[in-house]
Every structure is written in structure tokens, then in C-alpha cells.
Structure 1
Amino acid sequence: MKPAKLFIALSIAASLATGVHAQTSTNAAATISKDDAARLVGIAQANIAEIEAGKMALQKSSNPDVKAFAKMMIDDHTKGLEETKKVAAAKNVTLPSEPDMAHQKLAAELKAVPADKFDLAYAKRAGVADHLNVHASLKKDISMLKDADVKALATKLEPTVAHHVEMAKKLATAVK
């Protein structure tokens, strides 16, 4: 190949390589650290678990206050999960579609609780205890997350979860 043609071919190859690199850099910008991705998965897990526990409460409880709380959990956490899915899609993070093992265990335990004891068990375990854990995690996440979008999600969800803690405490006291 003549030097001029070789120079043109190399220039084209370099331009293509630079374009591919620029495209790769753009895709890389959509990814996040493993820690931030793990927290995003954790946020999804919390939402999934509350939706599933709420559905169980709607089926097992006959208490209108428990049913109203469960409906609020389903509605609020469905909305939270949809927002989490949007952030995850933008960050190339695959989210789970079912509760993690700890929440599957909790669901099995709640399912085994006799009907006359279910309302209190649900209010204390899926309501108060689980929301206290999630709230503490979100507050920690807000201070530690590096990705601005994931941090914004945690910041947006935190007041809702704080409200759920208070509502769950009131419910647990009411159903004693």
C-alpha cells in the first residue's frame, strides 16, 4: 500500500477507534459502582418485600386498619419500585423480581401465623421492624452513595419510609 493510502487508512481506523471509545465511554458513564448498584438492588428488594407482605395482609387480615395499611404499602412501594426500576435501567443494573431470602423467610413465617395473631405479627415485623431497617439503610445510603441519581432516589424515598415507620407503630399499638 502506498504511504498516502496507508496514512488515510490508519486515520480512518483511528477515527473509528476513537468513535468506538467515545461510545464506550458514554456507556460506561451509565454504569455505577458495585456498592451503589448493590444499594439499588437493596432498595428494590425492600419495595418488593413490602408489596408481597401487603398482598398477604390483604388476604389474611379482616381488620380494616390492617387492610388500609397494607393497601398503602402496596401502592407506595409499587410506586417506589417503579422509580427504582427507572434508575436501574438508566444505570444498567439488573434488579431482582422476587423477595430476597430473608424476606422470603419472613413471608413464610407470616403465612404460618394463625389468623388471630397475624395482624400484630404483620404490623410489628413487616411494618415496624422492616421499615426501621429500611429507613436506617436509606439514611446511610444518602450519606454514602456516590451516584447522584441513586442518591436522589434514596433521598426521595426516605420521607415515605419514615412515614411508614410512624404508621406501622400506630398500627402495632392499635391491633394489640
Structure 2
Amino acid sequence: MKKFTATCVAASTLLLSLGSCSSTNTETTTTNTTEEVATDRTTATPPAEVIANIPYPKGSDSVAAFSDTTSFQAMAASSDMFEVLSSVQAKAKARNAEVKKFAEQMITDHSKTSDELKQIATKRNFKLPPTPLAFHQRMLSKLSNEKDMDEFDKEYMDMQVTAHTKAVELFESAAKHQTDPELKAFAARHLPTLRMHLDMAKRTKDMVK
């Protein structure tokens, strides 16, 4: 009987020991996984390398948060691309003569500022997004999918007012707070034109209501 009791005690002790080892291994695995995740985060691609993925600020029309060098150039480049691409569509599809006229001027003016920004980027080794950012992409897609040509004119002009309102905010902020002197001068130089574009967009929009 004593031998049986001793055997049971020994077996219980062994099971407890194995359970303890299992728990320890689990904790060790969890700790190692956490350390690996932390390591992955520290080796993530720098923001400058993924500039094309920078999203437009959500939940706000303000672009004041995008006043650093990289973000301003990304937003400015995206704005120019949107203006040119959307206006190429409008030049081909719009029915209203004033809308077509507005679109032609947007292609001319924003192609020039786009080229100027590219020259600055090349000289100063700045990176520019290869395609419009998410906010502008959504508007371009919506415009492309508009089948009603009468509605197209209204849609395009609505977008022009929205896009130029945001562009004016962006360039106003950069003209005041941009830390790179060449980009700050670029923003200040083109701000009056963007304000003029916004006024033109509002007037033209009223013609197609």
C-alpha cells in the first residue's frame, strides 16, 4: 500500500513538472513573438520610400498637418495630376462650352506647375508619387464611371471646387510653414493662381446647375 501511494505521488509530481514546463515554453514563445514584431517595426521601410501610399487626411478638409517637406510635395504633385487627368476627361466629354474652356486652362496651368515641381524634385532629390493619392484617385474613378453626360459637367465642376479648395489650403499652409525654402517659394508663387482657379471653378459651376 505504501509503495502504491509513493508511486501515485511520484506520478503526480511528474505531471505537475511537465505542466510547468509547457507553461514556461508558451510564455517563452509569446515573448519571442513579441520581440520579433518589435524588431519588424524598427526595420520598416522609411516614409520617404512609401510616399505613394500616403493617404489624404481622413475626417477633415484641413491639410495643415501636411506641412512637412515630403507630404507637401506629394499632395502638390497629386493635385496637379488630378487636375490634368480630370480635365482631359472633361475636355473630351463635357457638353457645356464654358466647362470645356475651364478644363483646357486647367490642363495648361497644372501641367506647368507639375513640370516645375518635378524639376525641383530632381534638383533637391525629393520623391514624388507616381500616381494621384487616394483622395484624388477616388474622384477620378467616380468621374470615369459617370455615364450621364449632363451629370458629368456638374460632377466635374463640383470636384473642381472641392479640389481647388483643398489645394488653396495646402499651399497657404506651405507658404507660411514649409521648412524647405524652395518649396515654400513654390507654394507662395502659385497660391494666387490656385485662388483664381477656385473662383473660376465656382463661377463655372453656377453655369451648369
Q: What is the TM-score of this pair, normalised by structure 2?
A: 0.65
What are the ranges of 5 or more consecutive residues in structure 2 without an aligned counterpart? Answer: 1-66
CA RMSD after TM alignment: 1.3
- 1:93: which partner in 2? 126
- Give the Cα separation in 2 of the matches to 1:154 and 1:97: 20
Which structure has the greater CA radius of gyration? 2
SS in 2 for 1:146: coil
- 1:53: which partner in 2? 86
**Is residue 118 of structure 1 aligned with residue 156 of structure 2?**
no
* 1:62 Cα deviation after fit: 2.1
- 2:175: which partner in 1? 142
- Give the Cα separation in 2 of the matches to 1:66 and 1:119: 7
Name whichever of 157-166 and 98-107 sits farther off: 98-107
* 1:96 Cα deviation after fit: 2.0
Cα offsets for 1:57-98 (capped at 9, x unmatched): 012112211111000000000001011111111110121232
Cα offsets for 1:115-146 (capped at 9, x unmatched): 11111111111x11110011011101111101
- 1:108: which partner in 2? 141
Name whichever of 88-97 and 147-156 sits farther off: 88-97
* 1:103 Cα deviation after fit: 1.2
Partner AA of 1:129 in structure 2? T
- 2:113: which partner in 1? 80
Structure 1 stretches (4+) deviating beyond 6 angstroms?
none
Q: How many residues align?
A: 142
CA contact (8 A) 1:48 1:97 kept: no
- 1:170: which partner in 2? 203
* 1:37 Cα deviation after fit: 2.1
Partner AA of 2:136 in structure 1? H
Partner AA of 1:83 in structure 2? E
- Give the Cα separation in 2 of the matches to 1:98 and 1:60: 22
CA contact (8 A) 2:75 2:133 kept: no
- Give the Cα separation in 2 of the matches to 1:86 and 1:96: 14
Percent of paired sites with the same residue: 30
SS in 1 for 2:108: helix
CA contact (8 A) 2:77 2:117 kept: yes
SS in 1 for 2:179: coil
Q: What is the TM-score of this pair, normalised by structure 1?
A: 0.77
CA contact (8 A) 1:61 1:118 kept: yes
SS in 2 for 1:95: coil
* 1:35 Cα deviation after fit: 2.1
* 1:164 Cα deviation after fit: 0.4
What are the ranges of 5 or more consecutive residues in structure 1 without an aligned counterpart? Answer: 1-33
- Give the Cα separation in 2 of the matches to 1:129 and 1:61: 18
